[in-house]
Amino acid sequence: MSARSPAFSRCARRAAQRGAAVVLALLTVSFAAMLAAAALADFGHGLAMLGGRHDQAQAWQLGRAAVDWSRNILADDARRTSTDHFGEIWTTAIPVTAIGSDSADGSVGGAIHDLSGRFNLNDLAPNGRPDTPAIARFTRLLGLVGMDDASANATARALAAHLQGGTAELGTAPAAAPGTAPDERSGGETNANAGGGRALVETRELVLLGLVPAATFAALEPHVVAAPPGAPININTASAEVLAAVLDSLSLDVARNLVAARERAWFRNLGDLEGRLPEGAALPAGRVLDVRSRYFLVTISAAYGDALLNLQAMLDRESNWPAILWYHTP
């Protein structure tokens, strides 16, 4: 078979770019239509809730509607596919879009971010009981982002003790829980572990508790999440650092090669990953890895009149309709 010509390659790239542009255009149109309808339907409620503050009420309703639109996208994705990866439609960010004839009617944009490819800090002591393999994995992850072995081991054990209800020995004072919207918590749960400990709500609590220096946290933050424990890590969205921490005897260089190869062919199942592992590396026992995602972060920017709103929402897609675990306005 003859090699493809440069002209053919350029045509293929242009076709792919046109296809991506069409997808983005369709998403943007449906996004704007849904938000306009939602804003009109909820406007009266928003005014009453915010005491007549017109612009703030509309910006909030646009933000809320955008979160619900994201939930629709993720619910539809769960019905259509059995794997999650960065090539799916939910990874397409929506640019700030005017709602109505011009920007005076409001504008909103946002993105859905995968969180299931990250290491869950609360897995170190699910239900208030220490998980020794998880503690070892977190210790390795800390080492991979630059912490020395002794500090990494002490930090992992201090976090596990905190999650069990003990004192984080490396810290100065426990932090107050970050702000959440209690009425939007799934099932109205708190951040208490069943065993009496206190689960983390946000990853920055590592710094507030004095467990991790700010400089180390900057390197660690893209690889960790604070979510309800027990959900497996998605190997299609995990970073090389997370894969190297979770898979025994896997070097960071090999993990980076796996991530690069993954961009060309996503893992359809765990067997796909196992077949690409070098000799000596093995999948962890138990339900630690998967090819699906459960947790997502939605980031929204909304504007109406003089009001600007930046809204974050953490979603749990355990059921068909993603639940909102919390809202946050950074």
- Per-residue model confidence as pLDDT tens digits over 246-304: 998 999 999 999 999 999 999 999 999 999 999 989 999 999 999 999 999 999 999 99
State the sign of the Cα–Cα–Cα–Cα dihedral 197, 231, 67, 330.
positive
45-54, 83-92, 115-124: lowest mean pLDDT where? Answer: 45-54
Q: Return the DSSP state at 127.
A: G
pLDDT of residue 30: 54
Residue 137 clears pLDDT 60, i.e. is over it:
yes
Residue 157 clears pLDDT 70, i.e. is over it:
yes
What whole-number distance in Å separates Cα of residue 131 and Cα of residue 126?
Answer: 7
State the sign of the Cα–Cα–Cα–Cα dihedral 310, 312, 313, 317.
positive
pTM over 0.85: no
Helix segments in the chain, DSSP class H: 6-49, 54-80, 132-144, 149-163, 205-208, 214-220, 240-246, 252-262, 270-276
Choose among 172, 152, 162: nearest CA to 201.
162
In terms of Cβ atoms closer than 10 Å to its own Cβ (0-12, 13-18, 19+), residue 8 is exposed
pLDDT of residue 154: 97
